């Protein structure tokens, strides 16, 4: 039988990095084995679920390249299936209707705690007669459905990461499977769906491990085949607290908008909990598909390290195809108004050259834009410190002469411009930096950046001459 896994987000928020990692692990296992990756939307909480979150989750998954083979299925459209199984359990006397009100349950819990008993439901509605039920319903009470659970013995969860995890059944009680409003509880909908969808491996967050004994009780009561489980470790912030907003970006969307690449986030998230067994850190998606294994997922919490993710992003910025980086960078330039909304092929070609020049000096697409603004606008000032240092009256003269030289360079390439500059320095008897530093400042407004002659070639002759003479004028004005 082929492997079937699922990712089952609730559309009550954006896709968190933890959720993205769960989705990734499922996807890797499916792609590796030629199995199926199913997307299910756990949207039974109608109040907290929204279309907007749903769309944001789907967009984030697509951006990460996590394509699914089936779905999305929506729990909100599967009420009939849950109702059928709940009725079956009732008919087989494996479940019963409970009429206790929330405040009664709270009182029962308090009394149990006082008496030193575990605060579990005491099963008082198990043996209601039909007359009892009719009386309670006539009084306006809406029942919930509870599963009959034996609290004797133990339940062993077979977990592919943790081995057998043993739970004493004392922690269980007759838990609710259908709420008083008729909606299935999480554990129930999850088991019915996982079973009917033929899920063979349930790979999910560690926070659900404690639900698994209840889910196993449901598989057994319903007579469904049990899947394998794998509970992936928690993700903690560097201070070992739960990763949250106050530690910075937590959703895939935010990383995308901050200029991270899906390749980097995928690589980073895979190594957050999984290890290849070597010191390697750069493992692209197609390699991960070959090498990933649940057995090598750690039991320990994973510590989120933004510095490492950013470092990886810098790596992928230079190694991914320039064409792709350019198209990913385009919206960032458009947002700053540096490139038009419908760029011509010529504009895109120019952008490609610019991105090619700056990408090995930065870590994110936002930084690509920062490093490249002067290619698109003249609206900037010279760096003050640099101007004080390099824009001397001697420099004004040198820049004027350099401009004259560049005017005659044919064709106007980086190599030819460099040769002309070196020759000019020699003729004038000055060291090359004396010529190069003010030129860089004149062309870019900055003292640092990519290779000077590469910049010239991309800017083009006209722009270079214009900026050289603008700087010469600026220097003369400043001297007056
Ligand atoms: N909707 C649940 C969640 O997002 C799914 C848990 C599961 O994978 O069983 O936590």
DSSP characters for 24-35?
Answer: HHHHHHHHHHT-
pLDDT over threshold 80, residue 328: yes
Report the nearest atom of ligand 1 relative to the CA of 6: 8
Distance, in Å, from the CA atom of 375 to the CA atom of 273, rounded to the nearest integer, reads 42
Domain membership flag for residue 129: yes
Cα(263) to ligand 1 centroid in Å equals 25
Cα(244) to ligand 1 centroid in Å equals 18
Cα(292) to ligand 1 centroid in Å equals 22
Residues 10 and 33 in one domain: yes
Cα(84) to ligand 1 centroid in Å equals 22
- The CATH number of the domain holding residue 347 is 1.10.8.70
Q: Average the pLDDT over 421-440 and give the result.
A: 97
The band of 396, judged by pLDDT with boundaries at 50, 70 and 90, is very high
| Rg of the chain on CA atoms, in Å | 32
- The CATH number of the domain holding residue 24 is 3.40.50.620
Cα(186) to ligand 1 centroid in Å equals 8
Residues 295 and 437 in one domain: no
Nearest residue (by CA) to ligand 1, atom 4, is 9
Output the CA–CA distances (angstroms, integers) from residue 183 to 50, 145, 401, in the order listed.
17, 10, 81
Question: What pLDDT is attached to residue 228?
Answer: 97
Dmax (CA) of the chain:
111
Domain membership flag for residue 378: no
Residues 134 and 220 in one domain: yes
* Residues with catalytic roles: 245
Domain membership flag for residue 313: no
User: Which residue's entry shows tokens 């040198």?
Assistant: 398
Nearest residue (by CA) to ligand 1, atom 5, is 8
Residues 63 and 96 in one domain: no
Cα(13) to ligand 1 centroid in Å equals 13
Output the pTM of the full model: 0.94
Question: Considering 184, 201, 232, which residue would you say is the last residue of a domain?
Answer: 232
Question: Residue 97 in 3-state DSSP?
Answer: strand
pLDDT over threshold 90, residue 14: yes
Report the nearest atom of ligand 1 relative to the CA of 7: 8
Cα(97) to ligand 1 centroid in Å equals 26
Q: Average the pLDDT over 437-446 and give the result.
A: 98
Q: Which domain holds residue 22?
A: 4-77+236-306
In this structure, the number of other CB atoms found within 10 A of the CB of residue 61 comes to 23
Residues 68 and 119 in one domain: no
Domain membership flag for residue 251: yes
pLDDT over threshold 90, residue 245: no
Report the nearest atom of ligand 1 relative to the CA of 9: 4
Nearest residue (by CA) to ligand 1, atom 10, is 9
How many domains, in total, are found in the chain?
4
Domain membership flag for residue 317: no
Number of helices (H), then strands (E), in the chain: 20, 12
Residues 68 and 84 in one domain: no
Q: What are the structure tokens assigned to 350, written together?
A: 């120019």
Question: What pLDDT is attached to residue 480?
Answer: 81
Distance, in Å, from the CA atom of 340 to the CA atom of 330, rounded to the nearest integer, reads 9
Q: What is the pLDDT of residues 183-239, one digit of tens each?
A: 999 999 999 999 999 999 999 999 999 999 999 999 999 999 999 999 999 999 999
Question: Considering 232, 266, 283, which residue would you say is the last residue of a domain?
Answer: 232
Question: What pLDDT is attached to residue 126?
Answer: 96
Residues 204 and 271 in one domain: no
Residues 143 and 228 in one domain: yes
Q: Average the pLDDT over 376-395 and give the result.
A: 97
From 27, 186, 219, the mutation candidate for ligand 1 (largest count of ligand atoms within 8 A of CB) is 186
Report the nearest atom of ligand 1 relative to the CA of 190: 9
Residues 64 and 83 in one domain: no
As a whole number, the mean pLDDT across the chain is 97
Report the nearest atom of ligand 1 relative to the CA of 207: 10
From 16, 19, 208, the mutation candidate for ligand 1 (largest count of ligand atoms within 8 A of CB) is 208
Question: What pLDDT is attached to residue 352?
Answer: 98
Question: Considering 186, 210, 232, which residue would you say is the last residue of a domain?
Answer: 232
Domain membership flag for residue 417: yes
Distance, in Å, from the CA atom of 387 to the CA atom of 446, rounded to the nearest integer, reads 9
Residues 104 and 225 in one domain: yes
Nearest residue (by CA) to ligand 1, atom 3, is 9
Domain membership flag for residue 348: yes
Report the nearest atom of ligand 1 relative to the CA of 194: 9
Domain membership flag for residue 377: no
- Paired strand residues for 204: 231
From 7, 8, 76, 232, the mutation candidate for ligand 1 (largest count of ligand atoms within 8 A of CB) is 8
Nearest residue (by CA) to ligand 1, atom 8, is 204
Residues 89 and 224 in one domain: yes
pLDDT over threshold 80, residue 444: yes
Ligand 1 neighbours (beta carbon < 6 A): 8-10, 42, 190, 204, 208
pLDDT over threshold 80, residue 1: no
Residues 87 and 204 in one domain: yes
Q: Report the percent of the chain where pLDDT is more than 70.
A: 100
């Amino acid at each position: 039988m082929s492997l079937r896994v699922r990712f089952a987000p609730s559309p009550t928020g954006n896709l968190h990095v933890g959720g993205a990692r769960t989705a990734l692990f499922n996807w890797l296992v499916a792609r590796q084995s030629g199995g199926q990756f199913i997307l299910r939307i756990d949207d039974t909480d109608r109040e907290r679920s929204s279309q907007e979150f749903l769309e944001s989750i789907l967009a984030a998954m697509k951006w990460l390249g996590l394509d699914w083979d089936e779905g999305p299925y929506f729990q909100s459209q599967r009420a009939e299936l849950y109702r059928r199984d709940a009725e079956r359990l009732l008919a087989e006397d494996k479940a019963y209707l409970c009429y206790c009100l929330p405040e009664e349950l709270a009182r029962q819990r308090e009394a149990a705690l006082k008496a030193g008993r575990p605060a579990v439901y005491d099963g008082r509605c198990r043996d209601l007669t039909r007359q009892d039920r009719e009386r309670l319903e006539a009084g306006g009470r809406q029942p919930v459905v509870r599963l009959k659970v034996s609290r004797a013995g133990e339940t062993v969860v077979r977990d592919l990461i943790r081995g057998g995890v043993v739970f004493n059944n004392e922690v269980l009680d007759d838990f609710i499977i259908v709420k008083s409003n008729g909606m299935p509880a999480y554990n129930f909908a999850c088991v019915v769906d996982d079973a009917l969808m033929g899920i063979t491996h349930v790979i999910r967050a560690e926070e659900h491990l404690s639900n698994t004994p209840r889910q196993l009780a449901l598989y057994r009561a319903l007579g469904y085949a049990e899947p394998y489980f794998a509970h992936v470790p928690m993700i903690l912030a560097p201070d070992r607290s739960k990763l949250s907003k106050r530690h910075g970006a937590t959703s895939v969307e935010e990383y995308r908008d901050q200029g991270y690449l899906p390749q980097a986030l995928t690589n980073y998230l895979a190594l957050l909990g999984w290890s290849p067994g070597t010191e390697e850190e750069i493992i692209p998606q197609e390699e991960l598909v070959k090498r990933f294994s649940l057995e090598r997922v750690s039991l320990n919490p994973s510590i989120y390290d933004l510095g490492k993710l950013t470092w990886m992003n810098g790596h992928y910025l230079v190694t991914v195809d320039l064409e792709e980086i350019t198209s990913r960078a385009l919206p960032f330039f458009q947002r700053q108004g540096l490139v038009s909304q419908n760029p011509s092929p010529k504009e895109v070609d120019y952008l490609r050259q610019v991105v090619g020049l700056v990408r090995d000096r930065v870590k994110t697409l936002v930084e690509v834009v920062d490093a490249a603004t002067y290619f698109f606008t003249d609206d900037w000032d010279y760096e003050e410190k640099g101007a004080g240092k390099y824009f001397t009256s001697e420099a004004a003269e040198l820049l004027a002469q350099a401009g004259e030289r560049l005017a005659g360079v044919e064709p106007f390439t980086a190599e030819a411009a460099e040769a002309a500059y070196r020759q000019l320095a020699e003729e004038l008897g000055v060291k090359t930096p004396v010529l190069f530093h003010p030129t860089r400042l004149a062309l870019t407004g900055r003292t640092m950046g990519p290779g000077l002659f590469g910049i010239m070639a991309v800017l083009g002759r006209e722009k270079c001459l214009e900026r050289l003479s603008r700087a010469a004028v600026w220097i003369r004005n400043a001297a007056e």
